[in-house]
Amino acid sequence: MYLSKSYRFIRRGLHQKAFLTNVLKSRKLHGGGSAYAALEQLRDIAVTPEQPELYHDAVKIYNPAYSLEQPAFVAFPKNVEDIKRCLKIADKTNTPVAVKSGGHCFAGYSTTDSDGFVISLKNLNQVHVQESTVTVQAGACWGDVYSALDDTDYVAVGGCVPAVGIGGYILGGGYSMLSRAYGGLACDKALSFTMVKADGSNVVRASAKENEDLFWALKGGGGGNFGVMVDVTLEVSPRPKQFIWTRLIYNTTDQSEQGLRVVGKNLHNFPKELNLDMALHGYFGKKTLTLDAVYSDVHEDAVQSSLESLHPPVETQPQVFTSFLQFSTEYSKRHGFVHQEVEPIYVKGVMIQSLPPSLAKYFAHVEIPPECLLEFVHMGGDIARHSVTSTAFPLRTAQYSYYTYGRFHNPAQREEVLKFATTTYNAVRESGCALGSYVNYMDRHLKNWGKNFYGVNYPRLCEIKDKWNPLGHGSLHFQQEVGSSWEP
């Protein structure tokens, strides 16, 4: 099932229009069926394959590995009433639905096949700035928030890439290069959520005072599980005048091993004001370790000795940004091929709580295929200030989020990427320093995924899920939803 449809069509080299014609011929749109019955009642907000250009745009998702699993239609709610209507009609006609905010899910769960339809929140993208809070609709992206805050004295903890959507990101926890110094994950900054219940019957609010169980679950319990999140109100932080970004480069295997060893040794001593993302690249044709140090003018003194202790063979001139939007736009381009939104990819990762010398050696010496990147995103700092059970996100003791990002253009490359990602994942697990995997790096190949994503919080999460969106009821469900027994 995985990728098979995509590959059939990519291999045949079918033009998108020809593909859509095929879809039209074979789909229930011309027959009866539940999706057709749902469409009949949602035509005023629906885009169908009969409008090829609009449909082509409407079904786009970040990872094209799943983008040819074409839904019967895409509904674009204009308000909460439309969302309720979509869910009620889906329920009544027994039609599966998937919700899409930014469409960045690595495993394609914000789309569905021709038996179902997508509720795209693209038109619900308002950002409302109050004094020290900001209310954001789920269909906005982080760039919208950064842009709205750039003229204020505040900054939000949000995605490193401005194009990433609010909805899926925050429901999975959401880390940022500001997380360590500015209060933790994006979900830790959430003051309240508005959600349409999965059966479309009602709109509820979740906060520390209302529906506390749901509030806990929405902070890291994962997208698509409890209902359709409409908006979130976030606490924002006073913003520094400047964001500073310096890159440290280690050009040989020996240098890379040395760099990783020093990071491993100092892992628990880095000041929280320093964010130090690392990457090992295969695509320059030689092994390169890069360390991207991010801090603010307020914290410049606090981070200097740590940066010096890393003994970088090459250090780039610091880049200084006054606009957070501009900074995140530039920062998100740091790995070249990543985040292009045009190539099928596979991402597999696990969070680690230490980086022992044996693992530093393994990573420095492992042969990385040219289409792969190993990334280590800095965790710890204020993320660890919150207890493991304070929200549904359980991986609080992690120091790094490690993952392989691999792109592929043909089945042979796909096999190579999957094999490499799995081999490195297994090596990290065997090293004994791995915790679980991050639910926002959703992975259809992950075994025992419920425990892996949610750890000790899984039993409580299953109970809350059962209350708000029980398995077997309604239409908002997917393979790896909380409580599902599906295994790859």
User: Which tokens is 131 given?
Assistant: 């004094």
CA distance 22 to 40: 21
Min CB(468)–ligand FAD separation in Å: 11
Q: Is 204 helix (H, G, I), strand (E, B) or coil?
A: strand
Q: Based on the shown chain and the rule CB under 6 A, indicate whether residue 274 belongs to the binding site for ligand FAD.
A: no
Min CB(363)–ligand FAD separation in Å: 21
CB 204 within 8 A of CB 193: no
Q: Which is nearer to ligand FAD, 360 or 446 (CB)?
A: 446
CB 61 within 8 A of CB 101: no
Q: Which of 174, 200, 221, 259 binds ligand FAD (CB under 6 A)?
A: 174
CA distance 401 to 353: 9
Q: Which of 27, 84, 100, 396 binds ligand FAD (CB under 6 A)?
A: 100
- Say how many residues touch ligand FAD, by CB under 6 A: 32
Q: Which is nearer to ligand FAD, 258 or 469 (CB)?
A: 469
Q: Is 195 helix (H, G, I), strand (E, B) or coil?
A: strand
Footprint (CB under 6 A) of ligand FAD, residues 62-81: 62
User: Which tokens is 408 given?
Assistant: 């592929």
User: Which tokens is 462 given?
Assistant: 């299953």
CA distance 287 to 372: 11
Q: Which of 33, 116, 143, 167 binds ligand FAD (CB under 6 A)?
A: 167
Residues 6+ positions from 292 with CB-CB distance below 8 Å: 245, 246, 247, 248, 276, 277, 278, 279, 331, 334
Q: Based on the shown chain and the rule CB under 6 A, indicate whether residue 84 belongs to the binding site for ligand FAD.
A: no
Question: How many C-beta neighbours within 10 Å does residue 323 have?
Answer: 15
Question: How many C-beta neighbours within 10 Å does residue 414 have?
Answer: 22
Q: Which of 66, 169, 321, 420 binds ligand FAD (CB under 6 A)?
A: 169
Q: Which is nearer to ligand FAD, 195 or 248 (CB)?
A: 195
Min CB(100)–ligand FAD separation in Å: 4
CB 266 within 8 A of CB 306: yes
Q: Which of 74, 138, 279, 433 binds ligand FAD (CB under 6 A)?
A: 138
Q: Which of 6, 70, 192, 440 binds ligand FAD (CB under 6 A)?
A: 440
Min CB(143)–ligand FAD separation in Å: 12
Q: Which of 38, 39, 59, 99 binds ligand FAD (CB under 6 A)?
A: 99
Q: Based on the shown chain and the rule CB under 6 A, indicate whether residue 161 belongs to the binding site for ligand FAD.
A: yes
Q: Based on the shown chain and the rule CB under 6 A, indicate whether residue 339 belongs to the binding site for ligand FAD.
A: yes
DSSP per-residue letters across 429-481: HHTT-B----TTS--TT-TTHHHHHHGGGHHHHHHHHHHHS-TTSSSB--TT-
Q: Which of 171, 214, 267, 482 binds ligand FAD (CB under 6 A)?
A: 171
DSSP per-residue letters across 354-410: ---HHHHHHHHHS---TTEEEEEEE--GGGGGS-TTTSS---TT-SEEEEEEEE-SS
Matching residue, tokens 């709205």: 148
Q: Which is nearer to ligand FAD, 219 or 287 (CB)?
A: 219
Min CB(227)–ligand FAD separation in Å: 7
Q: Based on the shown chain and the rule CB under 6 A, indicate whether residue 102 belongs to the binding site for ligand FAD.
A: yes
Query: Segment near ligand FAD (CB under 6 A), from 6-14, 167-175, 266-274, 463-471?
Result: 167-175
Q: What is the dihedral of CA 91, 170, 482, 455, to 10 degrees?
A: -170
Q: Which of 55, 117, 154, 175 binds ligand FAD (CB under 6 A)?
A: 175
Q: Which is nearer to ligand FAD, 312 or 455 (CB)?
A: 455
Q: Based on the shown chain and the rule CB under 6 A, indicate whether residue 380 belongs to the binding site for ligand FAD.
A: no
Min CB(482)–ligand FAD separation in Å: 11
Q: Based on the shown chain and the rule CB under 6 A, indicate whether residue 223 belongs to the binding site for ligand FAD.
A: yes
Matching residue, tokens 């509820």: 204
**Which residue ranges make up the site for ligand FAD (CB under 6 A)?**
62, 98-106, 109-110, 121, 138, 159-161, 164-165, 167-169, 171-172, 174-175, 223-224, 228-229, 339, 440
